[in-house]
Structure 1
Amino acid sequence: MAELLSHVLAAYALGTVVSWRLEWVTKRWVAVAMIGALLPDLNRIGLFVTDATLESVLGVPFSVDAIHTLGGVVLLSAIGAMVVADQHRRVFGVLLAGALSHLLVDAVKAYADGAAGAWLYPVTWARHPTPNLYVSSDPAVLAVVGVTALLVWWTDRTRGEER
């Protein structure tokens, strides 16, 4: 759970900082980016439902591991953009930005074999070497991201009072 919260807080911090430069990025769009940061972890549905069950329901070959890839988040962002009433392209872009922040943060975490997952699928199956910057279960990661998000929140709040 700490890793999921870390991704959401990182998307909040990044979205809020972007909102300082782009007028159209309001709190609503920061929230959409935070939802986008959750998209890659929808592959956790595999803990409850097997791939075979999903294949029988969908009628096509399916693997939940593909959700935590570039192709998976593009597809989920497109689905998310279709369910909103308006501004489909903007929703798609903001959801995708949040999801990409998740994938990029995961690209530098520690893996046992020293190579990140094939998160660039369908572009390539290559697994790049990772710098092993952090272990996802380390509580210090959540602390750093939490403090960063708190500082961004505080700065954003004080910027609003100055206007």
Structure 2
Amino acid sequence: MAEWLTHVLIAYGLFTVCGWYVDWLDERWVAVGVVGSILPDLNRLDLVISDDLVTALLGVPFSWDGLHTIGGVTLLSAIGALLFATARQRRRAFVVLFVGGLSHLVVDLPQAYADGAMLTNLYLFPLTTWRPPTPGWYVSADRWVALVALAFALAVFLADRYRTRANRVARPAS
């Protein structure tokens, strides 16, 4: 659970800061980006519906692990974008969902893994099987990572509220 919270908080902070510079990236689109940040972890559906069960139902080999890749994020972002009404909203939704998903994958890269290598071979499948060594900065169960993400999100939240208040004072109502 701390891992999902970390991804959500980091995405909130990143999208909020980007919203300061991109006019259309308001709170609604920040929320869409936050949803995008958990898309790669939909591979955890295997805890509810096993790969073997889906393989038996479909009659072809199946694995949920493909969702935790750039290709999986692309596919899920495209599916999610279809939920929006206009072509402009669908394009924006795809980009925001995709960037949210990429933020998740990037945050996962420096984790410590038992074999000491990054998951780049999974992220970039089928382009490469190369796995550089990981810096091993943290494991997904480390609580300090969630605390750092919380501090970052809180700082952005406060800065955003200060900016909003300063903008209201600078632009008096007409």
TM > 0.5 = yes
Q: Distance in 2 between matches of 1:60 and 1:96?
A: 28
Q: Does 1:119 align with 2:129?
A: no
Report the equivalent of 1:104: 106
Is the partner of 1:43 in helix, strand or coil?
helix
Q: Deviations over 1:87-113 (max 9, x none)?
A: 111111100000000000001111111
3-state SS of paired residue (2:123): coil
* SS state at 1:160 partner: helix
Identical counterparts, % of pairs:
53
Contact 1:70 1:122 in 2 (8 A): no
Q: Which runs of 5+ in 2 are unaligned?
A: 168-174
1:84-139 CA-partner distances (Å, limit 9, x unpaired) = 22211111110000000000000111111111222222332322321111121111
Q: SS state of the match for residue 17, structure 1?
A: helix
Residue 24 of structure 2 aligns to a residue whose secondary structure is coil
Query: In the alignment, what sits opposite 1:83?
Result: 83
**Count of residues in correspondence between the two structures:** 163
- Residue type at the aligned position of 2:132: H
Equivalent residue number for residue 52 of structure 1 = 52
Post-superposition offset of 1:55: 2.7
Give the TM-score, by structure 1 length: 0.95
Counterpart residue number, 1:160: 164
| Amino acid aligned to 2:153 | A
Q: Does structure 2 conserve the Cα–Cα contact (< 8 Å) formed by 1:71 and 1:122?
A: no
Query: What is residue 9 of structure 2 aligned with on the other side?
Result: 9
Kindly report the root-mean-square deviation, in angstroms, between the aligned alpha carbons of the 2 structures.
Answer: 1.3
Supply the AA of the counterpart residue of 2:106: L
Task: Give the TM-score, by structure 2 length.
Answer: 0.89
After superposition, give the CA deviation of every residue in 1:19-59 in whole Å (9 maximum; x if it has no partner): 11111110011101100001000011111211122234445
2:3 is aligned with what amino acid? E
Cα deviations by residue, 1:51-96 (Å, 9 ceiling, x for unpaired): 1222344454321111111111111111111122221111111000
Distance change in 2, residues 1:91/1:136 (3 Å) = same
